[in-house]
Amino acid sequence: MRAKLETWAKDAVLEVQEYVRLIAKVARAVVTPPIYYRDIIEQFDSIGIGSLTVVLLAGLFTGMVLALNSGITLDQFGARSMVGRLISASMVKELGPVLTGLMVSGRVGSGIAAEIGSMLVTDQIAALRALGTDPIRKLVVPRVLAGLIMMPMLSVLATGIGMVGGWIVTVLQFHVASTVYWSSVVQGLYMQDVWMGLIKPLFLGFTIVTIGCHVGLRTTGGTQGVGNSTKLAVVASSVAVIAVDFMVTKVLIVLMY
């Protein structure tokens, strides 16, 4: 039992060490040539545009269900006109970034781990190195940059469409005038909330993509290993999204409120 615990602890420390080393290599590769611009553009498209549908749908239905539930409760106090305020505060600060993070970790984190893992077990990563290409620069850096830049954009879009979803339900279900809803949305927004909604996705995007790359690059054991890596990437990045969200929120509250 003790030996098993020791092995587990050593493996955990090794994973953390390798993850930190990967981040250090990425940090160095971002500021030194060569930089593969074409791959960066491709990843912007793959991670950003490719995730748009799933993120918009998740945002829309979350805004709708939030309006539905909060509308029923607020109606009991005669405050149905406040629904917009509640939706904007929830979506901008919390639900927009976190739901986008969870959707992206399911779609992008798993995809990255599977793609890089497959390349590893079929010797394509070794072939890249043999041809004089650093796999960190070619494969990891473009994905990290795309994750960092596209996540805030996706989060803003998810938040926006969530507000639209809330508007649809508030107007059709609770018969609140559009102008009342949108002015309530604006009243519920503070600059600190907006900053929080923009800063959080940066951290979440970085976390999702680096975990996907790390897990992919540590793949062993052929096609079964690729499957395991894919599963691990989704689980680890989803949990990390929630944990990082908490930590970043805590820090931002101390700094901004």
Partner 1 sequence: MMAKQEQTRSPLLEEALAFGGPIVVFDQVDLAFDEKVILRGVSFTLQTGHTKIFLGASGAGKSTILRLALGLLRPDSGRIFVNGEQIDGMSEDALMQVRADLGMVFQEGALFDSLTVGENVGYKLYEELKWPMAQAEARVREVLGFIGLGEFIDRMPSELSGGQRRRVAIARAMAAKPRILLYDEPTTGLDPITSLTVDEEIIKLRDLEGVSSVLVTHQLRDAFFVAEHAAARDGDKIEFERAAGGKADQAEFIMLKDGGILFEGNASDLRTAAKGDAYIRSFLS
Smallest Cα–Cα separation from 159: which of 60, 44, 48? Answer: 60
Residue 136 C-beta: closest distance to partner 1, Å: 9
The interaxial angle of helices 110-121 and 222-256, nearest 10 deg, is: 140
Beta carbon nearer to partner 1, 129 or 250: 129
Beta carbon nearer to partner 1, 65 or 121: 121
DSSP for 209-233, written as a single string: HHHHHHHHHT--SHHHHHHHHHHHH
Residue 127 C-beta: closest distance to partner 1, Å: 4
Beta carbon nearer to partner 1, 20 or 34: 34
Residue 125 C-beta: closest distance to partner 1, Å: 9
Residue 16 C-beta: closest distance to partner 1, Å: 21
Beta carbon nearer to partner 1, 122 or 178: 122
Beta carbon nearer to partner 1, 1 or 130: 130
Q: In the complex, which residues of this chain contact partner 1 (CB under 8 A)?
A: 34, 36, 118, 122-124, 126-127, 129-134, 138
Residue 123 C-beta: closest distance to partner 1, Å: 4
Helix H or strand E segment including 188: none
Residue 193 C-beta: closest distance to partner 1, Å: 41
Smallest Cα–Cα separation from 142: which of 187, 97, 112? Answer: 112
Contact 83, 170 (CB under 8 A): yes
Phi, psi (deg, nearest 5) at residue 201: -60, -25
Q: Omega into 33 within 30° of 0, i.e. cis?
A: no
DSSP for 89-155, written as a single string: HHIIIIIHHHHHHHHHIIIIIHHHHHHHHHHHHTTHHHHHHHTT--HIIIIIHHHHHHHHHHHHHHH
What is the Cβ-side half-sphere exposure of residue 87, based on CA atoms within 13 angstroms?
A: 38
Q: Hey, how many other C-beta atoms are within 10 angstroms of the C-beta on 239?
A: 12
Beta carbon nearer to partner 1, 78 or 132: 132
Beta carbon nearer to partner 1, 34 or 221: 34
Residue 119 C-beta: closest distance to partner 1, Å: 8
